[in-house]
Amino acid sequence: MSKSDLETLMSGDTSVINPNGRINFTLKDLLMLTTSGLINLSPEEYQRYFRATLKFSQQLIKTIFIPKIIIPEMTLRFGCDIPRDYKCEVMDGQQRSTSCKLFYENGFPLPNDEELACVSFDDNDEFTYDLRGKYFKQLPKVARKHFENYVLTAQTYVDISSVEAGELFVNILNNVTKLEAQEKRQAISSPMSRFVQEKSRFKSYPVFKTKDKNDMVLKYLIKAKHEKLDIDKHLAELIYMTTTDDYKTKGVTNKCMDNFYISHAARKEKKFNSRHIDTLMRFGNQALRGVPQAQQMITPKLFRNFCVIVSEHIKEKISLNPINFMNVYVQAVENLSDKSLRAKDLYKTPFQFKLGGTTVTDTVDALNMLRNEMTKIGYEFTELDSERTFSRDVVRKAYYEQDGKCNICSEEMPEFGEDIHGDHILLYKDGNPTIDENCAAVHASCNFRKSA
């Protein structure tokens, strides 16, 4: 890549890129394009598991200094429909490029391999260098320069959609590893897809916490691992089943989930609205942590179904106690799994067979069995007022009756406007109504802190 082309790219102009062609660039070019914010090197994009392992990264960097193996060609896409407003996305080669960036930033050292004990950079050079175990900053100047000038090649695509990019990655670029269904659909980039990755693995919900930072086994759910994106799969299904009713007529098959990912990519949304999912996950986290017995028996699919039932209650303005509801749910699962319910010569109960399926009948029947059993056992609930938000006239009235002082912090509030919220004096979640007499004017910031 010429200096002028590099400068053009760094300005955000991708006209110098040949669609469906190839470009050559040095590692220094790549790092400059990354620093300028042009290329997205987030390890979340197109990753099957997690970031590259330390061993992988060290051996990759080693090949730059011991050129027995050429680093394979990367694939970049430029133009429209790039996640998070970047100009370029690494479609294939993410772990290679992030490993190079991390090494350059002194994130890890070269391996202590004997092949790195005596390295020369010129056939006519009388000197050799010992690079074993050295960080980038510890390398001699000639080695640092060799690293920066190492040339990579990339196939380029311009102005292709996220769906097309996903299909290319799955069917053409990924020609070595057999991908699971969730790995394939995760390659279809959208705000929802990236939300699933982040909240399952990178900045995960507490309920998906692992036993330790190096372990893929989950702490609060049984039979649950992060391998092959299992948790991504269940969170995606949870979102699908709580944001649309399609599962009631189509089930939760691989084809349904593929179409769900494609439909989100086609929307070209800037951000995924996660408020309802966040509420469900807070409720689920409280429920799981508060019921130790649940941690011994709730699988990801059972947790998914738990959240679906909770979602239905929330949408119907019904307030639930997380601990009580989980206790009843656990009892319902135990009742439906009782060995006495197994037919002769079968190893599962009807509920367990239904729970393991993905068809419409399996999905709907399993949920109905759970709902019916929980109703028989009985649980605590409070019906909420259908109206939750106070009108601005009601809030204004409360503001002047309080002489402009916040009902939460007692401090003076600014002039009445958007920063003044109406708050329930007697809690809404306890079933108290949204009426004039139950409204207090408060700072918006105080209201947000109270709701957090």
Q: Say yes or no: 314 and 225 in one domain.
A: yes
Among 39-53, 88-102, 134-148, 168-182, the least confident range: 39-53
Looking at 349, 383, 417, the residue that finishes a domain is: 383
Q: Say yes or no: 442 and 336 in one domain.
A: no
Q: Is residue 323 very low, low, confident or very high in pLDDT (cuts 50, 70, 90)?
A: very high
Report pLDDT for 234: 95
Report pLDDT for 48: 45
Q: Say yes or no: 276 and 416 in one domain.
A: no
Q: Say yes or no: 166 and 191 in one domain.
A: no
| Backbone dihedral angles phi then psi of residue 90, each to the nearest 5 degrees | -80, 110
- Classify burial at 304, counting beta carbons within 10 Å of its beta carbon; exposed 0-12, middle 13-18, buried 19 or more: buried
Q: Say yes or no: 241 and 167 in one domain.
A: no
Q: Is residue 275 very low, low, confident or very high in pLDDT (cuts 50, 70, 90)?
A: very high
Share of the chain above pLDDT 70, in %: 91
String of DSSP letters for 355-409: HT--SHHHHHHHHHHHHHHHHHH---EEEPPS--SPPHHHHHHHHHHTTTB-TTT
Rounded mean pLDDT, 244-248: 94
Report pLDDT for 335: 97
Statement: residue 68 has pLDDT above 80 = no
Q: Say yes or no: 139 and 212 in one domain.
A: no
Domain that includes residue 199, residue range: 183-383
Say if CB 76 and CB 169 are below 8 A apart.
no
Cβ neighbours of residue 394 closer than 8 Å, sequence gap 6 or more = 422, 436, 439
Rounded mean pLDDT, 322-341: 96
Q: Say yes or no: 127 and 144 in one domain.
A: yes
Q: Give the residue with greater pLDDT, 5 vs 247.
A: 247
Report pLDDT for 449: 82
Q: Say yes or no: 86 and 124 in one domain.
A: yes
Statement: residue 179 has pLDDT above 80 = no
254: three-class secondary structure by DSSP:
helix
CA angle 362, 208, 40 (to 5 degrees): 105
Statement: residue 440 has pLDDT above 70 = yes
Statement: residue 38 has pLDDT above 90 = no
d(CA 64, CA 151): 10
Q: Is residue 41 very low, low, confident or very high in pLDDT (cuts 50, 70, 90)?
A: low
Tokens of 147: 């690293």
Rounded mean pLDDT, 145-152: 91
Rounded mean pLDDT, 168-196: 80
Q: Say yes or no: 83 and 151 in one domain.
A: yes
Q: Give the residue with greater pLDDT, 404 vs 42.
A: 404
Looking at 383, 411, 429, the residue that finishes a domain is: 383
Q: Say yes or no: 173 and 193 in one domain.
A: no
Tokens of 179: 């991908």
pLDDT tens digits, 408-439: 999 999 999 989 999 999 888 888 888 899 99
Q: Is residue 195 very low, low, confident or very high in pLDDT (cuts 50, 70, 90)?
A: very high
pLDDT tens digits, 361-372: 999 999 999 999
Across the chain, mean pLDDT equals: 87
Say if CB 150 and CB 64 are below 8 A apart.
yes
Report pLDDT for 47: 47
Q: Is residue 136 very low, low, confident or very high in pLDDT (cuts 50, 70, 90)?
A: very high
d(CA 117, CA 62): 11
Report pLDDT for 255: 93
Say if CB 231 and CB 300 are below 8 A apart.
yes
Report pLDDT for 49: 43
Report pLDDT for 46: 46
Q: Which residues of 159-188 are buried (b: 16+ CB within 10 A; e: fewer)?
A: ebbbbebbbbbbeebbeeeebbebbbbbbb
Looking at 144, 177, 210, the residue that finishes a domain is: 177
Rounded mean pLDDT, 288-296: 94
Statement: residue 81 has pLDDT above 60 = yes
Q: Say yes or no: 118 and 78 in one domain.
A: yes
Say if CB 410 and CB 435 are below 8 A apart.
no
Statement: residue 302 has pLDDT above 70 = yes
Q: Say yes or no: 281 and 137 in one domain.
A: no
Most confident of the ranges 88-92, 227-231, 418-422: 418-422
pTM of the predicted structure, to 2 decimals: 0.71
Tokens of 139: 């390398």
Number of separate domains in the chain: 3
Statement: residue 9 has pLDDT above 70 = no
Statement: residue 380 has pLDDT above 50 = yes
Statement: residue 45 has pLDDT above 80 = no
